[in-house]
Amino acid sequence: MATQAAHKEQPLLSVQDLKIKIQMESGIMNAVDGVDFNIYKGKTLGLVGESGCGKSLTSRSIISINPKECETSGTITYNSESESALNGLNLLSLKPTGKQIRSIRGRKISMIFQEPMTAFSPMYTIGNQIMEAIRTHQTKDKKEAKRIALEMLSKVGISDQAKRFDQYPHEFSGGMRQRAMISMALSCNPEILIADEPTTALDVTIQAQVLELMKSLQAEFGMAILLVTHDLGIIAEMCDEVAVMYLGKIVEQAPVKEIFNNPKHPYTKGLLRSMPRLGGNKSKRLDSIEGSVPMPINMPPMCGFYDRCKDRIEGVCNAQSAPKITISDEHTVRCFLYADQREGEVQ
């Protein structure tokens, strides 16, 4: 794959042909339909898409926390840097409740969620819960665990940690809880951090704080981040590479500048055009994408964006699913419009 050729190093995590099917009353829903991407050390991959496109399911399948109804296939290869025993492990082959995935979850790959309230138990203090995470994976020593927990709290910018340590989740504000969750997620120094809409529930000024925090922590710890979001602004600020998802497929994948400056897929173009931006023309009509996202239930093989696409080619786009086409070394797109460039552009 061209996207990977650009990176010389081995990816930390490689997702290949991930498919998630959900049995519905009205048929089988292909919630995620053949997703490939790689995550590299110290880099941030953004997974962007609208609600229902499968981005959350994709990210959750990495640490096997999807509900039972999700039938998952494909491979997710994890190449641990620090532990050779975990090198080349297919995470999907592990039992979702088994010991091995649990030893990876939270220690090697952590996750932060949109609503930090659900990640903490209301019955225990924040400090207690962070300590618990450290003690399960890192050290059995209580004092040492507390020291690490306090250090982590100060790292995420929580002042007065000693007092905060003994407070309960409800005594924290939304932004503070998100910080606490990040500190818990990073307490075991994971290699990969999955952030699922980490700032969607927060106010803009607090969102700015949390994003800044994530960036500085990445610079310090060097972990890879998989950032799942619907906000292109956050993508532009945080990511090195972007994968745009639509209806369970990655329709376009490229480095962040390439996506914003040279988008290829009609959906990506439409998204970029339709979002209002600061400094944009006031009272200008927005270019919207017509129609709405269909349900991927019993879909015939065709481009999922066909109904809403302005550049659709009848008889082609609705006859088979779009192939992955390489635009340049690091840029791939799933669209028939570029099918003829395949030979010309790739050497």
Partner 1 sequence: MTKPILEVLKLNKSFQVKSDKALFKKPKPVHILNDISFELLEGETLSIVGESGCGKTTLGRCIVRGVNASSGSVVYHAEDEKAVDYLKLDRKGIKAYRKDIQMIFQDPYSSLSPRMNVFDIIAEPLIANFKLSKDEVEAKVTEIAEKTGLNVGYLKRYPHAFSGGQRQRIAIARALITQPRLIVCDEAVSALDVSIQAQIINLLKDLQEQYKITYIFISHDLSIVQNISDRVAVMHLGRIVELASTESLFGHPQHPYTEALMSAVPQPNPEFKKERIILEGEVPNPANPPSGCHFHPRCAYKTEKCIQEVPELREVGYNHFAACHYAEKLQLRGVPIESAELQVN
Partner 2 sequence: MRTLPLFKGQKPAAPVTAAPKDTVYSSQWRLIYQKFKKHTLARISMYILGLLYLVALFAQFIAPYDLQSYDSKYVNAPPMGLRFVDAEGKFHIKPFVYGLKTERDPETLRKMFVADTETRHSFKFFVKGQEYKFLGLIPMKTHLFAVEEPGRIFLLGTDGMGRDLFSRIVLGSQISLSIPLVGVGISFILGLIIGGISGYFGGWLDSLIQRVIEIIRSFPTLPLWMALSAAIPPRIPVVTMYLYIVIIFAFIGWTDLARVVRGKFISLKNEDYVVAARIAGVGNTKIIVKHLLPGFMSYLVVATTLAIPSMILGETAMSFLGLGVRSPATSWGVLLQEAQKIENVALYPWKLLPLGAVILTVLTYNFIGDGLRDAADPYKK
Our finding on whether 278 is near partner 1 (CB under 8 A) is yes
In one-letter notation, the amino acid at residue 27 is G
b/e burial code for range 227-250 (CB count within 10 A of at least 16 → b)? bbbbbbebbeebbebbbbbbbbbb
Name the residue nearer to partner 2 (CB basis): 297 or 316. Answer: 297
Binding site for partner 2 (CB under 8 A): 22, 24-26, 29, 31, 51-52, 56-57, 60, 67, 69-70, 113-115, 117-118, 292-295, 297
Our finding on whether 235 is near partner 1 (CB under 8 A) is yes
Name the residue nearer to partner 2 (CB basis): 256 or 271. Answer: 271
- Which one of residues 82, 97, 283, 347 is an interface residue with partner 1 (CB under 8 A)? 283
CB under 5 to 8 A by kind: which of partner 2, partner 1, none does 297 bind?
partner 2
Q: Which two tokens stand for residue 87?
A: 């090198």
Name the residue nearer to partner 2 (CB basis): 112 or 259. Answer: 112
Q: Which two tokens stand for residue 214?
A: 């994530």
Residue 7's CB: how many other CB atoms inside 10 A?
15
Q: Which two tokens stand for residue 78?
A: 């994890």
Q: Which residues pair with 26 in a beta bridge?
A: none
Residue 330's CB: how many other CB atoms inside 10 A?
17
Our finding on whether 212 is near partner 1 (CB under 8 A) is yes
Phi and psi, residue 112, nearest 5°: -120, 145
Name the residue nearer to partner 1 (CB basis): 176 or 194. Answer: 176
Q: Which stretch binds partner 1 (CB under 8 A): 30-38, 54-62, 121-129, 265-273?
A: 265-273
**Shortest Å, Cβ 326 to partner 2:** 31
- Categorise residue 144: left if φ over 0, alpha if ψ from -120 to 50, beta otherwise: alpha
Our finding on whether 216 is near partner 1 (CB under 8 A) is no
Phi and psi, residue 85, nearest 5°: -65, -25
